[in-house]
Amino acid sequence: MLKFILKRLVLLIPTLLGVITLVFFMIALAPGDPARVMLGERANAEQLAQLRSELGLDQPLSKQYLLYIGRVLRGDLGKSIVTQQKITDELSARLPATIELAITATIFASILGIVLGVAAARRRNSWVDYSTMTGSLVGVSMPVFWLALVLIMIFSVGLDLLPTGGRMDVRLYFKPITNYYLIDGIIMWFREGNSDYFVSALKHIILPTVALGTIPLAIIARTTRSNMLDVLNQDYVKTARAAGVPEGKVVFRYALRNALLPVITVIGIQFGMLLSGAILTETIFAWPGIGKWIYHSIGARDFPAVQGGILFISFFFVVINLVVDLLYSVINPRIRLK
Amino acid sequence: MTDTATAAAATRTGELLGIDNLSVSFHTRRGVVKAVRNLNLNIREGETLALVGESGCGKSVTAHAITRLVPMPPGVIESGIIRFRGTDLLSLPEKEMRALRGSKISMIFQEPMTSLNPVFTVGAQIAEVFITHEKLGKKEAFARAAELLNLVKIPDPVKRAKSYPHQLSGGMRQRAMIAMALASPEPGLMIADEPTTALDVTIQAQILQLLSELKERVGMALLLITHDMGVVAETADRVAVMYAGRKVEDAPVVDLFANPRHPYTAGLLGCQCSAPSNRNAARLTSINGSVPDLLTLGEGCPFANRCDNVKDECMESFPDISKAGEEHEFRCHNPIPGPGASI
């Protein structure tokens, strides 16, 4: 097992180098002069040249590239043009909000998706099956920004049940402890016996979770259904039934464990996509995470910030894929032992 | 005639399993497939009955009907009674049926490669049977599983119990399947659905040998489903031959090999490499034509279109049971003459 992990870690190196390269050239070759953007239209040639040399933009592209790799390896993503803060600090301040939302959305999508998928497979060609599959087709086809706005219109504006945006009611002031507000809310609950923080954090996260989780939910439900249908026809399911194992155990222990193998890969990829693809959702719900920050950085032509943000998210995506692979090998003995 | 025959079978001493007039259909989009029609079958305690026939003749459907594992829908049991030690299995509540499965009636399947769950160890899967039926604890059940692996002659059973199916060879997996089928305090009937078809010849012999040995040792009956007459000759006490959903002949193995009365049985025996007609022959004998479509089967004898002895009445009605001795039955309008017969 240790050997397997080491092997996967070594394979991570070329992948990450590839990501760095892609991100660097994507930004470096994009039209527009960063120095001009930073200094504005009225800057003179001398000022521009000075800033270019400060940023290393006067060097040949190949040298810039090597310098960039060197900096990234040292964990230096540069400074934001707009705020003059280190990009790593900006990212780490916003990361908890993004992760929190991605986790709740993944949990929402996985649990509901697996339950619906199994139900649809067990009652194939019944109304449960048809409505689940139609619903998931609609879910997959729905643009996130549209769904988010509809959710706000119904639950915030219409029914006035849930807030339109933010992470917590502004009237509830508190000093974040872990920066994961749901966890902070629970801590405050224990510490002060006041559940308001937790309830508020929960209310704020519901709509973004549903908006962000709907597409993964639909994908997971469909994948679970088709895998479950396949597995329920396998000989070993027949063997378990012939051995008198109760039907519930046959479905949820013997069949589901096999059917979930591919689903777990899907969930992992979806989780990675949620981390990177939450730009629209975070922007609409004013969720102060990395997605919203990248959106604003793009608007402000903050090149180092965009570069750093994309690089960071890509790293995250690659690492999460690795974790999923390792997890996969834990539940699938055929991979582990080869 | 049918009634008297079944009544006689039921009262015959030592009946373990009795099937009367069983019909199973599958309702598909193309129409109703009559997979098994008016089948009568009985197995005595401790006996090995071979159920023989081509693919699609209803052997496996019969086996699945006994354990009530016919997928429904599309399957429908149209009529019939299946008695196991006097209880009608078809009217048994699902819970009681489940208690029988794996404890008194166990099954092994054709494909050892796919019949074991790939994500659980072999030992855990065998242990599951003890956990289900005897409510044993995990540890104890696992120890019992290792004992069984020893019984089916798997070397180093404790280590093998911790192996996953993909780490075992085909022969070993089939042994593990047999061990699983034996995981019961009092096995009555083991149904082996083509247990050796997927294995190579030397392993086939070993598995058959093992099955016969265990059968004696445990004192269970064996319903052996096969299309291999060689396997039948080696292991069976009695043989029932099926064709297109119908049982056409039923006899003790010696009788059947010596005096097949139904032309189809004779044809099956004639296809063997070792059959007298095939000695030194350039080509093996075969039965002409192919199995009829079960969707469009009429009331006549299903074998009529391929039969050398066909008569007009074969097309119109399926014949009643004829007797050729105490336990030798067949259904044919124009049978092959028996020894000393003057027909």
| CA B250 to chain centroid | 13
Q: Residue B143's closest CA among B153, B132, B131, B155?
A: B131
Closest CA to A289 of A67, A104, A49: A104
User: What ipTM score was computed for the predicted complex, to two decimals?
Assistant: 0.77
Contact A254 B116 (CB under 8 A): no
Look at residue B278 in the predicted model and tell me its pLDDT. Answer: 64
Q: Are B108 and B124 in contact (CB under 8 A)?
A: no
Pairwise CA distance, residues A261 & A266, whole Å = 9
Which of A 201-240 lie inside 8 A of B, CB atoms?
234-236, 238-240
For residue A208 the two structure tokens come to: 């973004």
Written as six digits, the tokens of A27 are: 């930004």
pLDDT at A338: 44
- Tens digits of residue pLDDT in A297-323: 888 777 788 888 888 888 888 888 888
- In tens, the pLDDT along B193-232 reads 888 777 777 878 878 888 888 888 888 888 888 888 888 8
CA B261 and chain centroid, separation: 21
Q: How far is CA B331 from CA A258, A285, B49, B69, B339, in A?
A: 47, 79, 19, 28, 17
CA distance B15 to chain A (A): 22
Which of B64, B115, B133, B186 would you mutate first to test chain A, the one with the most A CBs within 10 A?
A: B115
Percent of chain A beyond pLDDT 90? 4
The pLDDT tens digits of the residues spanning A4-28 come to 788 888 888 888 888 888 888 877 7
Cis peptide before B73 (omega within 30 of 0): yes
- Closest CA in chain B for residue A246: B98
pLDDT beyond 90 at B175: no
Contact A203, A227 (CB under 8 A): no
Q: Would you say residue B4 has pLDDT above 70? A: no
Residue A233 exposed, middle or buried by CB count within 10 Å (0-12, 13-18, 19+): exposed
Within 13 A of B151's CA, how many CA atoms are on the CB side? 21
CB-CB under 8 Å, A241 with B69: yes
- To the nearest whole Å, the CA of B243 is away from the closest chain A CA by 25
- Please report the pLDDT score of residue A284 as a whole number: 86
Average of pLDDT values for B13-18? Answer: 78
Longest dimension (CA), chain A: 85
Determine contact, residues A192/A186, Cβ cutoff 8 Å.
no
CB contact under 8 A, A243 and B100: no
From chain A, the residues in CB contact with B133 under 8 A are: 244
What is the pLDDT confidence band of residue B2, given thresholds at 50, 70 and 90?
very low
* pLDDT of res. A112: 92
Whole-angstrom Cα distance, residue A218 to residue A216? Answer: 5
Cβ of B129 within 8 Å of Cβ of A243? The answer is yes
Confidence class of residue B5 from pLDDT cuts 50, 70 and 90?
Answer: very low
List CB contacts of A149: < 8 A, sequence separation 6 or more. A284
CA A246 to chain B, closest CA, distance in angstroms equals 7
